[in-house]
Chain A
Amino acid sequence: MTTEQDLAHASLQAILQTHQNQPGALLPILHDVQDTLGFIPDWAVADIAKALSQSRAEVHGVITFYHHFRTTPPAQHTLQICQAEACQARGSRELTAHAEQVLGCSLHGRSADQSIGLEPVYCLGLCSSGPNIQLNDKMVSRVDAAKLDRLLANVKEAQ
């Protein structure tokens, strides 16, 4: 019987195979693992290290250096709000406070019902039309409190 765990292991082996001969393969591998599994599980680290002839500590060090990589499963939905200057100048601090209030958590936390993870992001490159957010894969500009409430209601409805 094939379990979910077997599938995950098979995916990892396929990813390692794809990047085997690529110079500087670690970041491309970590991206593929996270894109496939949603995060980089502890058990994958040993296999990645072995494939690249590196120590587990080296791989762990790289994973934890970069903000993008995560070692635990993400919430069902991820809401990122830009915290950088161009968005600050257009009200992102107020928008963040609103999101924290309606979700019942702070940045890096999860909503009371655990379904939405609230994360900071430092610039999406849409700096003339902030405040900007990214909700799952979709970037949205000129987001005020009312627009954020609508977007959040939409993802909940789609659940």
Chain B
Amino acid sequence: MSIRLFVPRDSAALALGADDTAVALAAEAARRGVDIELVRNGSRGLFWLEPLVEVETAQGRVAYGPVEADDVAALFDALIHGAEHPLGHGLTEDIPYLKNQERLTFARVGITDPLSLADYQAHEGFAGLKRALSMDGAAIVQEVLDSGLRGRGGAAFPTGIKWRTVALAEAAQKYVVCNADEGDSGTYSDRMVMEDDPFMLIEGMTIAGLAVGATQGYIYVRSEYPHSFDVLNQAIRLAEDAGFLGENILASGKCFKLDVRKAAGAYVCGEETAMLESLEGKRGVVRAKPPLPALSGLFGQPTVINNVISLASVPVILARGAAFYADYGMGRSKGTLPFQLAGNLKYGGLVEKAFGLTLRELLHDFGGGSASGRPIRAVQVGGPLGAYLPESQFDTPLDYEAFAALGAVVGHGGIVAFDDTVDMVEQARYAMEFCAIESCGKCTPCRIGSTRGVEVIQRIQKDEKRPQQIALLRDLCDTMLHGSLCAMGGMTPYPVLSALNHFPEDFGANDAAE
């Protein structure tokens, strides 16, 4: 009987040499005449262990990592027997980092072969779609409403309300658009879903189509994610061939078609109306709202726009019921969020947990503190438009409302840790610079404000009339916050002001001259 080995095909594993490891394993097995079956699974999201090689045993899968190509010859004997080894971590499921998670959306990720329909169905895949096919659209929308699911892209708007608006709109053609323009630094959960469990996204979008009466979907994927683009296209073809997508879904007479579109490196296209413009073949310039995209969206038609994780959460909600999902979380933040531990952390990775755990638990219990061994000084939560939190705020529970109360955001769940070598005035300058590079140019506070912001902060850095510059910076941030058309200009002040308020010493507050 052949021995089943697993080597991930996720980009993060590939960038750490997973392909070389897979080649070395195959060569070593051939050299020894050992019959192996090499499965290219998704990543478990324990990136400090990638490339993570697993072997299937009677007790379960046993993990080894990080396994580089050079390690293979010495590891091979232990590996094929699931035996102990310095690179071994025992049963994968028992690794505390995984065991202590609540993986609902990521339940299959890292376990299955992303492009195996058989694998997908053996792990509850398409159970949600099958149930949805037996319901009418309004009942599907109600189920999503009852689950309490809120938009996981960052804005946290209730998904069910959005769906209901589109469902009630009258139009010959409606669309479902998946926003997979995951441009926030420190985030990769969308990428993992697309690369490691693409059928889940396809299933979620199909259910959305059934719920609102849309027959065409688009997935807008950033150009920096070439693997996601390829895997999605392959998965769509497989799903179509097997009757899960297309003119007649599982012989129900219902239709849903799906196309993948590649973005072109503009961060602002993660803003939903800029994304629509881009999908229509135009410059990614933000639209004024109203009209809401739910009523007049892509090509002027009613359009559901959801983030990858929102749509990927739908299959489990339909399969297990709204109450099952809503049972997780706290307050108005129901369910789970896949947090992404990034930056200067010892154990960076994907941690799916119910809302309500604290930032400190994520940073220390999961993340193991900083990778550099120095104290963690600042943590940016929610991407480049998210606030920097100081140590005194690390006990805040991860909950949309608790973060909003601090002037911070949970956003898409990206957590970027910095140690005490960070220069917060430089981080503030970068936030303004990023806005200047990425502004779509439509509104003045964002387009001009960001450039003026860079200049003002540079003068602070050079100690030119510092107190006046700081007053000017606050005034500028106020204008951007209240006068910008979208979150690009409207939220760039979050990282800037949080840096200024929580780390005034970096802005020269303690200088004797003042």
Contacts and interface: CB of A to CB of B under 8 A. Distances in A.
The answer to whether A and B come from one shared complex is yes
Interface of A: 23-28, 30-31, 52, 58, 61-62, 65-69, 82, 84-90, 121-130, 132, 137, 139-142
For chain B, the bracket of interface size reads 35 or more
B357 interface: no
Contacts of A123: 183-185, 187, 224
A84 B48 contact: no
Contacts of B278: 27
Q: Which of B280, B343, B438 has the most CB of A within 10 A?
A: B343
B91 to A, nearest CB: 23
B266 A127 contact: no
Interface in B422-471: 422, 427, 430, 434, 437-438, 440
Nearest to A85: B185
B262 A125 contact: no
Contacts of B266: 65-68
Given A85-B380, A125-B11, 10 more contacts: A25-B281, A30-B264, A31-B264, A67-B265, A86-B343, A90-B343, A121-B224, A122-B438, A129-B50, A130-B342
Contacts of B280: 23-24
Given A85-B384, A88-B430, A122-B267, A128 B262 contact: no
Contacts of A58: 282
B341 interface: yes
Nearest to A58: B282
B264 A27 contact: yes
A139 B14 CA distance: 8
Interface string B268-304: 0000000000111111110000000000000100000
Contacts of A65: 266, 283-285, 440
B349 to A, nearest CB: 6
A56 B342 CA distance: 43
Contacts of A66: 263-266, 284
Contacts of A121: 224
A49 B184 CA distance: 33
A62 B278 CA distance: 9
15 contacts: A30-B264, A31-B264, A67-B264, A67-B265, A85-B343, A89-B416, A90-B343, A122-B183, A122-B185, A122-B267, A124-B15, A125-B191, A125-B224, A126-B47, A132-B15
A127 B188 contact: yes
Contact of A128 (B48, B182, B184, B225): B48
Interface string B331-366: 000000000111111001100000000000000000
B416 A126 contact: no
A141 B16 contact: yes
A96 B434 CA distance: 17
A44 to B, nearest CB: 16
Instruction: Give 7 nearest A-B pairs by CB, closest first.
Output: A128-B348, A26-B281, A84-B185, A89-B343, A66-B264, A127-B342, A68-B265
Contacts of A61: 283
Nearest to B182: A125
A105 B348 CA distance: 32
A92 to B, nearest CB: 10
B148 interface: no
A68 B416 CA distance: 25
Given A24-B280, A65-B284, A129 B47 contact: yes
A2 B284 CA distance: 38
A27 B261 contact: yes
Given A85-B186, A90-B344, A125-B225, A139 B11 contact: yes
A137 B226 CA distance: 9
A21 B262 CA distance: 17
Given A126-B12, A141-B16, A89 B340 contact: no
Contacts of B349: 128
Contacts of B11: 124-126, 139
Nearest to B371: A90
B315 interface: no
